[in-house]
Amino acid sequence: MTKSDYTASGVDIDAGNKAVELMKAAVKSTYSPEVLAGIGSFGGLFDAGKLKSMDHPVLVASTDGVGTKVKLAAQARRYGSIGHDIVNHCINDILVQGARPLFFLDYFATSRLVPEIVAAVVGGISEACREAGCALIGGETAEMPGVYAEGEFDLAGTIVGVIERESVLPRADIRPGDVVIGIRSSGPHTNGYSLIRKIFQDVPLETIFPELGMSLADALLAPHRSYYPLLCPVLNDLKGLAHLTGGGFIENIPRILPENTSVAIHKDSWTVPPLYDLIQQKGEVAPEEMYRVFNMGIGMVAIVAKENVSKVQQAIPEPTFILGEVVAGERKVTIK
């Protein structure tokens, strides 16, 4: 074998350093006064002094990825929007327990590091963090030839938030008679993309479907929205929140139900956006499978005591849907 250096083995330390340079300003724009050290130090430091003024702080943490939506994003070269996806997905995952985001860390790994792509992804991450008042205090960029297919990358993230112990959702008093409210998703968010990609494998992303009124790329790559600004003001009036991620209605809603409670969803209580009809028809997907894989236009579900429904609906500055109700029965969701 001839003379080796690290670049010849497929790893370019200088490309990594260039990526760090390119993303520095974006990352720093997310810093709150709580951030004591970030880029360059081994760990991110977040001043938790303010937690001392809480009655009983509980940290809430979640790690997630964006699934194979990364493949579509790479194909369409929409690197910034996939950054929004991962941050907002994580924000929503801790919001369902009532938590306010404190800080975020990202993980980006690829077959071959292109500094400009990393910078664009981290730019999107930074933007979404800034919007949520969440500091981007760390992350890792890895070049892994041979693990990732040529030209592919993966993106994951971890969020840490905080909540008063007595305010943690779901509350224990979810019971028959409570109302199930749904809030619009901005698209399939980050779920069902392996199936979506299979169904549309022969369709160019720039194809405009009349029923969608936009290109396939625009419909499929709409970034995951954050429900934090919308729901933050009403958290105290909710009994529980379920984020409709992988597993759709069927697997996510039961996660917050106590024993012997069931949820009945009425299919006609909202209009399923045309994208899902297109997916179902083109892929000949069984109707019940659709509700197990996709959010069907509803990204977040809230359980609310009957007497609080109009107060909650009025406080949320966009139309919401009364999807159904909590009933007695086996811990599951029925959709009729």
Chain positions 152 to 181 lying near a copy of itself, rule: CB under 8 A, are: 152-154, 156, 158-162, 165, 168
Q: What is the DSSP secondary-structure string of 243-266?
A: E--TTHHHHHGGGGPPTTEEEEE-
In order of 72, 156, 187, 299, the CA distances from 253 in angstroms are 28, 24, 19, 11
DSSP state of 91: H
Rule CB under 8 A: choose which of 15, 22, 58, 272 binds a copy of itself.
58
Rule CB under 8 A: choose which of 9, 33, 210, 236 binds a copy of itself.
9
Within positions 193 to 252, which residues make up the interface with a copy of itself, using CB under 8 A?
A: 194-195, 197-199, 243, 246-247, 251
Q: How many amino acids of this chain bind a copy of itself (CB under 8 A)?
A: 93
Burial tier of 2 (Cβ tally within 10 Å: 0-12, 13-18, 19+): exposed
Nearest one of 298, 188, 292, 325 to 242, comparing CA atoms: 298
Which amino acid appears at position 46 of this protein? F
Nearer to a copy of itself among residue 44 and residue 83 (C-beta): 44
CB of 172 to a copy of itself, least distance (A): 12
Rule CB under 8 A: choose which of 15, 28, 32, 65 binds a copy of itself.
65
Nearer to a copy of itself among residue 133 and residue 145 (C-beta): 145
**67 interacts with a copy of itself by CB under 8 A:** yes
Nearer to a copy of itself among residue 246 and residue 329 (C-beta): 246
Within positions 291 to 310, which residues make up the interface with a copy of itself, using CB under 8 A?
A: 292-293
**149 interacts with a copy of itself by CB under 8 A:** yes
Contact of 182 with 253, CB cutoff 8 Å: no
